[in-house]
Amino acid sequence: MNKPLPTDAIAPSTAALEMIDRLIAFPTVSRDSNLGLIEYARDYLAHLGVRSHLVYDVSGRKANLFATLADEPEAVRTGGIVLSGHTDTVPVDGQDWSSHPFRAHHAQGRIHGRGTADMKGFIAIALAWAPRFLAAQGSMPIHLSMTYDEETTFLGVRGLVADLAERGIRPTGCIIGEPTDMQAIVAHKGKRDFCCKVRGREAHSSLTPTAVNAIEYAAQLIAYIRGVADRLSREEPRDARFTVPHSTLQTGVIHGGIASNVVPRDCVFDFEMRNIPATPHDAMTQPILDYASRELLPKMRAVASEADIAFEMGLDLPAFGIEADAPVVRWAMELAQTSRLGTGAVSFATEAPVFQRAGIPTVVMGPGSIDQAHKPDEFITLDQVAACEQFFGRLIESRPPGR
């Protein structure tokens, strides 16, 4: 038997539910274009008399959208709150869905569909509220921000934030509506990864002194990276908000060699680092680069001048951290009527550090649960949609937080 909804539960608005259905129907998997959704949002806002600013990627197949819900955008260049979400979703390949992932399916107090929780639900509710935000703009100007490629490279948000700086728009604060069950999140770890290519010199294995064994040098470097990880686990000040309370490094992939009787010329491996907010990535990266260039390369080149160690950085997302008593955090918690900061930290990465580092105080708070994200039958509950709407309702009546 299904549990009845509590009688005091507030139902979501029809406008919000319809908008969620609409946005789920755009299959905006990160590898594909998001223009269908972006152009729909642009046209919808245009009907409300709001002009959207689109910033495209190099291919022209994806775009960010930024729109200020005010009659005179000039007046709110240095104020207002950004409601921000990414438009892309993870794929559904190989997942066993019981309904069509890109058609919202309503059942038993839930809406199923790819992106309902992570995180078109939040974007849809914000869009549905645009008319009310517009009507209330005097007390609380709202900016809507929609990005691409959050699930992959974080390139979208970087372009969006750079564009804001260029246009002199300095909002008072930003809410990233990732699914946190409407709890305020003030920290997450950063992540940086590298592909390292070690080039030696090959030879018949009976002649090893004339060759440079790429696997053996890669192994030394990997052991050194492990040493950096061990040192951090011993010496770094603990950040108890995280399950693993210190920064970590690890090597995850390695390829090299062709046969046991051939000295390998090439070895390629991937490693990553996940840092706590107190330790910048560079402090972890530099010793590794120095060890390669000062310790290993001279030995390699003494035998083979063509020997080389190359590092290619892939993802580079800083850790996110804002004071738990920062004005934007206290303000958001008050509006969400939650005193429960919990640990205030999450294990997933968000676009928050990109806004935060651009001088826009940012908190992560949105409807739905990360437990449902990226999975088959992803869903958001109607309760969470309603909770987000209540949050927006209090938001338009509030005064902006201080800086």
CB atoms within 10 A of CB 278: 14
Cβ closest to Zn ion, residue 29 vs residue 50: 29
Give 146's contacts (C-beta < 8 A, 6+ positions apart).
Answer: 37, 38, 41, 64, 65, 66, 84, 85, 86, 87, 123
Q: Could you say which of 149, 150, 351, 378 is catalytic?
A: 150
Cβ closest to Zn ion, residue 89 vs residue 275: 89
Query: Considering the complex, what minimum distance in angstroms separates the CB of residue 186 from Zn ion?
Result: 17
- What is the separation of C-alpha 260 from the centre of its chain, rounded to a whole number of angstroms? 43
* Helix, strand, coil % over all residues of the chain, rounded to 5: 35, 25, 40
Do the beta carbons of residue 363 and residue 401 sit within 8 Å?
no
Query: Considering the complex, what minimum distance in angstroms separates the CB of residue 213 from Zn ion?
Result: 43
User: Which residues are bridge partners to 79 per DSSP?
Assistant: none
Q: Which stretch binds Zn ion (CB under 5 A): 54-62, 119-127, 224-232, 335-343?
A: 119-127
Q: Could you say which of 18, 43, 57, 88 is catalytic?
A: 88
Query: Considering the complex, what minimum distance in angstroms separates the CB of residue 150 from Zn ion?
Result: 6
Instruction: Pick one of 66, 88, 117, 118: the residue that binds Zn ion (CB under 5 A).
Output: 118
Cβ closest to Zn ion, residue 203 vs residue 364: 364
Cβ closest to Zn ion, residue 53 vs residue 86: 86
Query: Considering the complex, what minimum distance in angstroms separates the CB of residue 86 from Zn ion?
Result: 6
216 catalytic per annotation: no
Query: Considering the complex, what minimum distance in angstroms separates the CB of residue 109 from Zn ion?
Result: 22
Give 183's contacts (C-beta < 8 A, 6+ positions apart).
Answer: 336, 338, 340, 341, 342, 365
Cβ closest to Zn ion, residue 119 vs residue 300: 119
Q: Which stretch binds Zn ion (CB under 5 A): 2-10, 16-24, 115-123, 329-337?
A: 115-123
Cβ closest to Zn ion, residue 151 vs residue 383: 151
- Determine, following the binding rule CB under 5 A, whether residue 119 of this chain makes contact with Zn ion: yes
Nearest to 333 by CA among 288, 364, 369: 364
Q: Name the residue whose CB lies closest to Zn ion.
A: 118
- Per-residue binding string, Zn ion, 167-186, x by CB under 5 A, is -----------x--------
| Burial letters 217-244, b for 16+ CB under 10 A, else e | bbbbbbebbeebbeebeeebeebebbee
- Determine, following the binding rule CB under 5 A, whether residue 164 of this chain makes contact with Zn ion: no
88 catalytic per annotation: yes
Query: Considering the complex, what minimum distance in angstroms separates the CB of residue 296 from Zn ion?
Result: 39
Output the CA–CA distances (angstroms, integers) from residue 391 to 73, 88, 325, 388, in the order listed.
24, 24, 19, 5
Count of residues engaged in binding Zn ion, rule: CB under 5 A: 3
Q: E-assigned strands of 121-219?
A: 142-147, 173-176, 187-188, 190-199, 203-204
The sign of the dihedral angle between the CA atoms of 240, 242, 244, 250 is negative
User: Which residues are bridge partners to 272 per DSSP?
Assistant: 193, 250
Cβ closest to Zn ion, residue 68 vs residue 350: 350
Query: Considering the complex, what minimum distance in angstroms separates the CB of residue 68 from Zn ion?
Result: 23
Nearest to 262 by CA among 200, 305, 304, 220: 200
Q: Which stretch binds Zn ion (CB under 5 A): 118-126, 160-168, 259-267, 296-304?
A: 118-126
- Determine, following the binding rule CB under 5 A, whether residue 351 of this chain makes contact with Zn ion: no
Do the beta carbons of residue 352 and residue 320 sit within 8 Å?
yes
Active site residues: 88, 150
Query: Applying CB under 5 A, which residues contact Zn ion?
Result: 118-119, 178
